[in-house]
Amino acid sequence: MDKISVIVPCFNEEDVLPLFYKEVTHVLESIENIDYEILFINDGSHDHSEDILKLLAHKNPHCFYYSFSRNFGKEAAMYAGLENASGDYVVIMDADLQHPPYLLKEMYNSLKYEEYDCCAGKRIDRTGEGKLRNFLSHSFYKVIQKLTKMDMDDGAGDFRMMSRQMVNAILELKE
């Protein structure tokens, strides 16, 4: 039986954590023949996120939380999640539900049955985000592409599911 690990970096997410938990567990429990774990990484929140995470971990043996002493940033939280994930497949998701949980089943099937190492979500439509945010996001990707000579699509993000092989390769890169 395969296991899916869901890594959720959290910083002041008390308002969305219960809804995120409900939506993600509903989807994970609908995927046949898998086990799962949800790893919440509390990145130094100042609200009641940690209290909610303690309750979720107490209520559900598939939930775990780790708390940083201060805010180290999303990348550090993602890395801590990768280090602690035990799944055959590992997905990184934002707690604010901008990464749609209903895609987990399709992502898993792509990796499992089409034998890919990574399946990533890409935002196509930024409706409702405001003109300034859209402009800044689009500008960011243009600047990064010019500075690094890398092809980075506008809308690419960190919502992705990876095979254990890919996660292990990332963890070997200590930088």
Condensed to tens digits (0 to 9), the pLDDT of residues 25-48 reads 999 999 999 999 999 999 999 999
The span from the CA of 32 to the CA of 117, in Å, is: 20
Q: What is the pLDDT of residue 40?
A: 98
Condensed to tens digits (0 to 9), the pLDDT of residues 90-118 reads 999 999 999 999 999 999 999 999 988 99
The span from the CA of 43 to the CA of 72, in Å, is: 6
Condensed to tens digits (0 to 9), the pLDDT of residues 66-92 reads 999 999 999 999 999 999 999 999 999
Q: What is the pLDDT of residue 150?
A: 57
- Domain 2-123+157-172, architecture per CATH: Alpha-Beta Complex (3.90)
Helix (H) or strand (E) holding 9: strand 2-10
The span from the CA of 112 to the CA of 89, in Å, is: 9
Report yes or no: 165 and 77 within 8 Å, Cβ to Cβ: no
Q: What is the pLDDT of residue 123?
A: 65
Query: pLDDT at residue 143 above 80?
Result: no
Q: Where are the domains of the chain?
A: 2-123+157-172
How far are the Cα atoms of 33, 125, 126 from residue 72, in angstroms, in the given order? 36, 30, 27
Q: What is the pLDDT of residue 151?
A: 59
**Considering the entire predicted model, what is its pTM?**
0.84
Condensed to tens digits (0 to 9), the pLDDT of residues 51-71 reads 999 999 999 999 999 999 999
Q: What is the pLDDT of residue 74?
A: 94
Query: pLDDT at residue 4 above 90?
Result: yes
Exposed/middle/buried for 155, CB within 10 Å: 0-12, 13-18, 19+? Answer: middle
Token look-up 């043996």 returns: 61
Q: CB-based contacts of 148: which residues, under 8 Å, 6+ apart?
A: none
Per-residue pLDDT, averaged over 156-175, amounts to 89
Q: CB-based contacts of 173: which residues, under 8 Å, 6+ apart?
A: none
Per-residue pLDDT, averaged over 165-174, amounts to 94
Q: What is the pLDDT of residue 115?
A: 83
